[in-house]
Amino acid sequence: MKREFDTLCHLPTRRVEVEAAPLAEIPDLLQRAAVEIPSLAASQDAVLRVQERNPESIWAFRRGGSMVGIYAMLLLNATGLEQLLAGTLAFADPPSDCLSEPREAVAAIYKWAVVARGLAAEGLHAMSRHLQGEPYATANLYARAVGPAAQRLDFNLGFRPIRPGSDMLIYIRMRNRALPSPIAA
């Protein structure tokens, strides 16, 4: 079923709890993500550094106290967005000067790693809700889908190639889309 990422915020999150991941849980989250995403390249040190820079970068989805999913993002500032668009951003070890600090404007959100199978997919509803607020509301989302299932999910949520033939995808936030101009009578 196709839905816009920004409209997921209206769907309930009844069976999954979602919270920003404490630093102490990063090793377990990274281990879980590596099982689901074999090509995951970021080191534990890089992931810890990203979460230390902005504690809203990595989120854990839980059901009954057990971790069932992850939503990890690179919250990019203007420098980070420039590097992403130029194809020079080091995704496995992003430089700190490319990452937004808490309460700093977020120029773009790169979906770094998402694990949300089955019921854990409800966590995406909570993430959509969270990303409607400041400082995220106008930051477009970018992703590289790893594998056909991830690509299907991204396309079904409104992501499209940034340009023909590119593996970099973009989701243009609904509030960033041009409104149709009124037709003069």
pLDDT on residue 154: 92
pLDDT on residue 38: 59
pLDDT on residue 169: 95
- Structural domain boundaries in the chain: 5-174
The class (CATH top level) of 5-174 is alpha beta
d(Cα 1, Cα 3) in Å, to the nearest integer? 7
Q: Among residues 67, 70, 19, which one has the least CA distance to residue 47?
A: 70
How would you classify residue 65: left for phi > 0, otherwise alpha for psi between -120 and 50, otherwise beta?
left
**What would the two tokens of residue 174 be?**
């609904």
pLDDT on residue 21: 93
Q: Are 4 and 158 in contact (CB under 8 A)?
A: yes
pLDDT on residue 35: 72
pLDDT on residue 185: 45
pLDDT on residue 182: 57
Q: Are 94 and 80 in contact (CB under 8 A)?
A: yes
3 state SS of 8: helix
How far does CA 47 lie from the centroid of its chain?
14
* Blockwise average pLDDT, block size 10, the chain, 185 residues: 88 92 88 71 83 94 90 96 96 94 94 84 93 94 85 91 92 84 52
Say which DSSP state 21 is in: P
pLDDT on residue 22: 92
